A = this chain, B = another copy of it.
Amino acid sequence: MFRNPSLLFTHFRHFRRRHHHHHKLRHRFMSTISHTLSHPIYTIWAANTGLGKTLVSTGIAASAITNPPSTVIYIKPLQTGFPLDSDAGFVYRKIPQILHHRNTQLSLLASNQTLNASLPAAKSKLGNDFNQNELSTKNGFGEIGFSEERKVGGENGCELICKTMYAWEEAISPHLAAEREGAVVADSDVLELLKKCLKIGVGGSNKGSVLSLVETAGGVASPGSSGSLQCDLYRPFRLPCILVGDGRLGGISGTISAYESLTLRGYDVDAIVLEDHGLENEVPLLSYLRNRVPVLVLPSIPKDPLDNLMEWFDESQSVFDSLKEITISSFQKRTERLHEMPKKAQEIFWWPFTQHKLIPEEKVTVIDSRCGENFAVHKVEDEGCITQMFDACASWWTQGPNAALQIKLARDMGYTAARFGHVMFPENVYEPALECAELLLQSVGKGWASRVYFSDNGSTAIEIALKMAFRKFLVDNELLLNIPQDNTLDSRIELKVLALKGSYHGDTLGAMEAQAPSPYTGFLQQPWYTGRGLFLDPPLVSMCNGVWKITVPRNIHAKDVILEDTLTFSSHEQVFNKSRDDSSLASIYSTYISDELLLSSGSTKSSHVGALIIEPVIQGAGGMLMVDPLFQRVLAKECKIRKIPVIFDEVFTGFWRLGVESAAELLFCKPDIACFAKLMTGGVIPLAVTLATNDVFKSFVGDSKLKALLHGHSYSAHALGCAAACNSIKWFKDPQTNPNLAPEQKFLRELWDTEVVRMISFHPAVKRVVSLGTLFAVELQVGDDDAGYTSRCATSLLEKLHEDGIYMRPLGDVIYIMCGPCASPQVCLRMLNTFYARLGEFWQGKIQNAREVQS
């Protein structure tokens, strides 16, 4: 069958069609994934097809079920070649045989059930009983509910429960069988059903030990029914693994590669087992694994199909006993560790922004893993479980990728670490740094920036920005001549920033000096803080009672009367409308700013406002304050007129946080310098950049190194950060990877249901609402004595939402839900609704309390 290039092209198109088809299936709304920790649950994977996964499952099951008498649950999620091939059926038949052969006197209750079968498979299985009209069918599957059961001996013995979740007739890969038999099951349905099956054996009457085994189909990266690779499909559960390796010639390579594919998805492989082919493949495997993962060797498997394998199972018994022991001991080790983690964390961590005295052990959240926007957390209730929570604080506003992108990012982190590690940046060039800089200048820097300065976090990016701005200001205003040649401190010039109250630019001293006094800047926190700025009170915007409203501080409009209709809007689009430039409010702003600047520099010739620094549109850490975009635009304009460089701190707002790639787009104006971090690396590692115009750069060019910008950190432009940034920048803006973007569209679709948001803004517990892009924030209505950053008023509300699977962290009386740029609007809606419901309870409770106090 010869494929010429045009046929190859057909494959491409073919793939695209199929991809779209599956795409839909993969993105269906998914309920919370969780599984018990009451007993060990293992997944059996293999390096290739035909390596004896089912024999391994059977052997482990036989060891586990008898000593002591226990329950074994065997689950085969995807079975092809059915009913001729039925791995569950094999286990169901073999275990009684083995027990009989071993002369155990134990009783056994065994069952085998097939839940769904494609119609051809159902027909084969049911034979004459098959009647399509009587069968309950869904997506091409019949719920055949086939089930068999047998009982040997008396009560209180051991129990075997075998389940096949989905079966197809043809003995090929599930994705092909599903397509050919017209029975494709969505990933979410597989996970949902598996979750149900994993609940078997929890809290049952049988108080003996329980072991669950989930056997996959084919190799680790063989596609499941929807086309997703199985190692990706089952990832949300992240169950511990046993890998069946390959003992044949070439099998070392296949086994190592399969192991790497599993670890590259965050799985823990607790044991490798392989059939002996006389090649001692276990020796290089152990060397590779540095003896940290046990490698066990099974005797050669008889090839005669008539062999009942009893002798082989006898010979293999000690290996299977070892495997069983490994499952038990690894499970114990894992659960013990999960239990001790909160205490240990409390003892040795020093959490930032956290008063340790207020965090009792039981409030510490143990995060076992992340899958896209969900944490998998450990809960100790009942018999313990791992359950998902939505990371609604986006892990300090950094998170972007969904589960699929996370795995791709992980692969690229591995590649980049292997290719570059980190390499020296100054005077050098390497691909990830160059591509990252190119992408930045083509995206958030487009049309104004021409240089990229790398650093490690928002705070350092700001310090760099300030150094850039001040130099530019000194050059432009011809103040450099006033600096003595010996380059010492010149007390004749004092440089200040122009900044807004409520803004926040980071925790290092230079960044702190650029912000107005706040709880973060007190003497107790930073004795060196002085506040080197002219700090203005900005007009703020928020939604109250269904209307977007601007609140203008009194000192701005001291002299003027502001027309009410310039202050209220029915949608946030109107707030951002550029036609507001012609409003009377614009001239009020302009006059106010001019006056303030004059006042500030007028006092003394030596004091200058050398830079404007603002967070465009939203002041994050200040309490999700939305500043009137018109005010910020006028501010920037007034500064540009006076040759005061304009810095945009987009550390929080950049990269789609506010629904556009750069928040500057919402202001319709360009800065001279801008800082980015957080979302830029897709929420995986720290990296920050300060972008600058060529004019800014030029003020550092000269003959001496002393004129260069002498600021840098060891890992400047580290390859991993740059590679992560390259990926996320591209993925977030590509409609192929970001379902919230239509082609050619520069705005994310609305993620927060407008009606529910309006409804919430009417709630008596709510003072104001801000919803924009990926951010939904609410300031709670509290008494003045409990307002602000140190407020703990939201505690009870957040605890309830925590129970609902939404992980939030408040900014005092301001609470927020933040999602990634690729988040599903359905998930956002579910969260909004949950929030609204809990808000009602919360308010009732407050009223109740108030009444009790009164009476």
Do B15 and A367 touch (CB < 8 A)?
no
Asked if A429 contacts B809 (CB within 8 A), the reply is no
Q: How large is the interface on A (under 10, 10 to 19, 20 to 34, 35 or more residues)?
A: 35 or more
Question: A708 contacts the other chain (Cβ, under 8 Å)?
Answer: yes
With a cutoff of 8 Å between Cβ atoms, the chain B residues found around residue A50 in the complex are 250
Show 29 residue pairs from A and B whose CB-CB distance is below 8 angstroms, ordered by the A residue: A2-B315, A3-B299, A18-B287, A175-B284, A218-B252, A220-B257, A221-B253, A222-B252, A254-B254, A263-B414, A342-B429, A347-B450, A349-B451, A352-B425, A353-B705, A354-B426, A354-B427, A367-B430, A370-B419, A391-B423, A395-B422, A396-B715, A396-B716, A409-B421, A480-B524, A488-B523, A489-B531, A507-B711, A510-B510
User: In the complex, what's the smallest C-beta–C-beta distance from A105 to chain B, in angstroms?
Assistant: 25
Contact B229 A704, beta carbon cutoff 8 Å:
no
Do the beta carbons of A173 and B252 come within 8 Å of each other? yes
B683 touches A421 (CB 8 A): yes
Residues of B within 8 A of A678 (CB): 714
Shortest beta-carbon distance, A645 to chain B, in Å?
A: 13
Q: Mark A565-587, 1 if CB is under 8 A from B, else 0.
A: 00000000000000000000000
Contacts A229-B288, A342-B429, A524-B487 given: A452-B257 contact, CB under 8 Å?
A: no
Whether a CB of chain B sits under 8 angstroms from the CB of A4 is yes
Closest B residue to A358 by CB, please name it. B705
Closest to A393 in B: B424
Q: Is the CB of A319 within 8 A of B708?
A: no
The answer to whether residues A364 and B227 also contact, given A276-B3, A419-B369 and a CB cut-off of 8 A, is no
Least Cβ–Cβ distance between A480 and chain B, in angstroms: 8
Stretch at the interface among A110-118, A151-159, A189-197, A431-439: A431-439
Q: How far is the CA of A59 from the CA of B337 in the complex (A)?
A: 55
Residues of B within 8 A of A712 (CB): 352-353, 396, 507
A48-B254, A459-B460 given; name 11 further pairs at CB < 8 Å. Answer: A12-B291, A47-B254, A173-B279, A176-B280, A264-B418, A364-B427, A395-B714, A456-B686, A489-B517, A507-B710, A525-B706
The answer, yes or no, to whether A493 is at the interface (CB within 8 Å) is yes
> In A457-474, which residues have CB < 8 Å from any B CB?
457-460, 463, 466-467, 470-471, 474
Q: What's the nearest-Cβ distance from chain B to residue A652, in Å? A: 9
Is B421 a contact partner of A406 (Cβ separation < 8 A)? yes
Using A256-B261, A355-B702, A530-B489 as known contacts, say yes or no to A279 and B172 having CB atoms under 8 A apart.
Answer: yes
CB proximity of A155 to chain B, nearest CB, Å = 34
> Which of A397-405, A654-662, A747-755, A846-854 lines the interface with chain B?
A397-405
Contact B434 A345 (CB under 8 A): yes
Residues of chain B contacted by A417 (CB below 8 angstroms): 406, 409-410, 413-414, 684
What residues of B have a CB within 8 angstroms of the CB of A438 in the complex?
344, 348
A81 CB to closest chain B CB (Å) equals: 11
A178-237 with Cβ < 8 A to chain B: 218-223, 227, 229
Looking at the assembled complex, report how far the CB atom of A812 sits from the nearest CB atom of chain B, in whole angstroms: 9
- In the assembled complex, the CB of A267 is this many whole angstroms from the nearest CB of chain B, namely 8
Q: Which residue of B lies closest to A373 (CB)?
A: B421
- Find chain B residues with CB under 8 A from A254 CB: 47-48, 219, 221, 254, 257-258
Question: Which B residues are CB-close (under 8 A) to A260?
Answer: 257, 260-261, 264, 411
Asked if B418 and A266 sit within 8 Å, CB to CB, the answer is: yes
Interface residue A1 (Cβ < 8 Å from any Cβ of B):
yes
1/0 contact trace for A267-305 toward B, CB 8 Å? Answer: 000000000101110111011100100011111100000
A692 within 8 A of B: yes
Cβ distance A788 to chain B, nearest Cβ, rounded Å: 10
Contacts of A845 in B (CB 8 A): none
B414 touches A706 (CB 8 A): no
Q: Which of B299, B352, B406, B710 contacts A711 (CB 8 A)?
A: B352
Inter-subunit contact B410/A365 (CB<8 Å): no
A379 at the interface (CB under 8 A from B): no
CB of A685 within 8 A of CB of B221, answer no
- Please name all residues of chain B whose beta carbon is closer than 8 Å to the beta carbon of A452 when the two chains form the complex: 348-350
**Minimum C-beta distance from A499 to chain B (A):** 14
Residue of B nearest to A318 (CB): B4
The residue among A487, A510, A511 with the most chain B CB atoms within 10 A of its own CB is: A510
Residues of B within 8 A of A350 (CB): 451-453, 692, 697, 709
Within 8 Å CB of A8, what residues of B? 296-297, 322
Q: Does A42 contact B (CB under 8 A)?
A: no
The docked-state distance in angstroms from the alpha carbon of A789 to that of B353 is 38
Residue of B nearest to A298 (CB): B3
Chain B residues, CB < 8 A from A487: 519, 522-524
A523 touches B490 (CB 8 A): yes
The answer on a CB contact under 8 Å between A701 and B356 is yes
A488, B509: Cβ atoms under 8 Å?
A: no
CB-nearest residue of chain B to A342:
B429
By a CB distance below 8 angstroms, the chain B residues around A221 are: 252-254, 256-257, 288
Q: How far is the CA of A653 from the CA of B450 in the complex (A)?
A: 37
